[in-house]
Amino acid sequence: MSDPIALSAAEAASRVHAGALDPAELFDAYQSRAAADELNAFTWVAEEPPTATAAMAEGPLGGVPLAVKDLFCTRGVPSQAGSRILQGYEPPYTATAVERLEQAGAPLLGKTNQDEFAMGSSNENSGYGPVLNPWDRGRVPGGSSGGSAAAVAAGLAPWALGTDTGGSIRQPASLCGIVGLKPTYGAVSRYGMIAFASSLDQAGPLTRNVTDAALILGQMVGPRDRCDSTSLEFPESIELPTATRLDGAAIGVPEELSGEGIEDGVLRAFEETLHIAERLGATVKRCRLPHAPHALSAYYVLAPAEASSNLARYDGVRYGLREEAETLLEMYTRTRRDGFGAEVKRRIMLGTYALSSGYYEAYYGRAQRVRTKIVEDFRAAFEDFDLVACPTSPTVAFELGARTGDPLAMYMSDVLTVPMSLAGVPALSLPNGMSDGLPTGFQLAGPPFSENRLLDVAFALEQAIDFDAVPARA
């Protein structure tokens, strides 16, 4: 039998269902690789498969093991959000998204490293050290779901769960040469996800190919979760994509997201992919998202403002790190000083300032109005186009340490992904080529709940591009 690591998740599940692959053997193969992780992609790895592995194998996910970002609560397993302030925290419950996948037959393989509280674009903000890019260990994997992306790209996990607030699934997927999907906001329950910015956070898959993304997403969406008031019932079932042609598909290319500031190699790969889409029958035309240039500025008011409120609960009283002191205020101060990293402190301060008396309307109120304009821009674009397309990241993976001293340069890593997050629309990153020996990403976005259309178009492009990700796992 061929090496089970070489199989896609869908192929592995199919073989398990056919009785041609032992799920325990599959788990052991990945467990040994994850335990020997040299990329710092994992913060915890299961020592042995769960006792229910055989029963899980009968589920639609076939016992194929799952890596989960450390931002998700998992009962009895460290769930630390990449932060020292939660070091060793073991929740008494499991996040809905993870629980649904386990019930569908995906046993927990391990928890993956991330930027602290999902705040970062390089995975260098983790309290547990940076993750290395499997294509070049001197470069970042992207963030904040960098551990999940690196683990999948390197063959340490068949698929992984990440979260996307401003691009934290799509950007690392691009930098690591894999598929990353941010679903429609509300499509996947946020219950049990450790919150960063609640109006933006959304869970989604990172996978080797589009079929795997569809397979796992189909088990994540579904009926509303009564534990999450923002969750929505998905209007249809997620189907495995089969399209080979794009006849009749209208793809818009926003002028604001496909020109200045994008590396030449990234732009070249993007334009080549647009030509492929046209050869497959799609109509590709320029379109406008006039307020997209303001998205990053609005995001870095709104997301820190929500973070400053969400992170107020980490005070050393109930769980996590506690620095003893003579007074309550001093205990709060010491705990938060020692428990939070520099980027988290920066965003808490930015957010608190934006919400403060006398500045609320000037910053937070104005940013919300910009967000509304961006939503309207996408709505108008989708009246004429089925999907819009742009590069996922303006650059390929950059060197470790290259942007840690320049927060603005780091924030610009998300300039092409943040507009979709503010609009709440689904978006997918597809590997579409190489630039200077590193992978590039092609981003597609659609109207709310258009995931099936998005997956079909991405699948057709994937077959035509035929990207070879094997060097990432060598």
Active centre residues (catalytic)? 69, 144, 168
Q: Positive or negative, the Cα torsion across 382, 387, 388, 392?
A: positive
Q: Measured between alpha carbons, how far is residue 333 from residues 116, 196, 229 in Å?
A: 19, 21, 33
**Angstrom distance (rounded) from CA 189 to CA 224:** 8
Tokens of 186: 């509300």
**Residue recorded with tokens 């260098």:** 124
Q: Measured between alpha carbons, how far is residue 300 from residues 164, 165, 200 in Å?
A: 15, 11, 12
**Angstrom distance (rounded) from CA 193 to CA 208:** 23
Measure the N-to-C terminal CA separation of the chain; round to a whole number of Å. 20
162 phi/psi in degrees, rounded to 5: -130, 180
Asked if residue 184 lies in contact with residue 79, where contact means CB atoms within 8 angstroms, the answer is: no
246 phi/psi in degrees, rounded to 5: -120, 25
Eight-class DSSP state of 363: I
Asked if residue 421 lies in contact with residue 165, where contact means CB atoms within 8 angstroms, the answer is: yes
Q: Measured between alpha carbons, how far is residue 275 from residues 278, 357, 442 in Å?
A: 5, 52, 13
**Angstrom distance (rounded) from CA 64 to CA 26:** 7
Q: Where are the beta strands (DSSP E) in 218-302?
A: 250-254, 283-287
Bridge-partner residues for 439, per DSSP? Answer: 434
Q: What is the DSSP annotation of 94-129? A: --HHHHHHHHTT--EEEEE--SGGG--SSS-S-TT-
**Residue recorded with tokens 């030509």:** 275
**Angstrom distance (rounded) from CA 167 to CA 120:** 10
Helices 210-220, 96-103: inter-axial angle, 10-degree rounding: 110
Asked if residue 72 lies in contact with residue 134, where contact means CB atoms within 8 angstroms, the answer is: no
Helices 9-17, 210-220: inter-axial angle, 10-degree rounding: 70
Asked if residue 114 lies in contact with residue 70, where contact means CB atoms within 8 angstroms, the answer is: yes
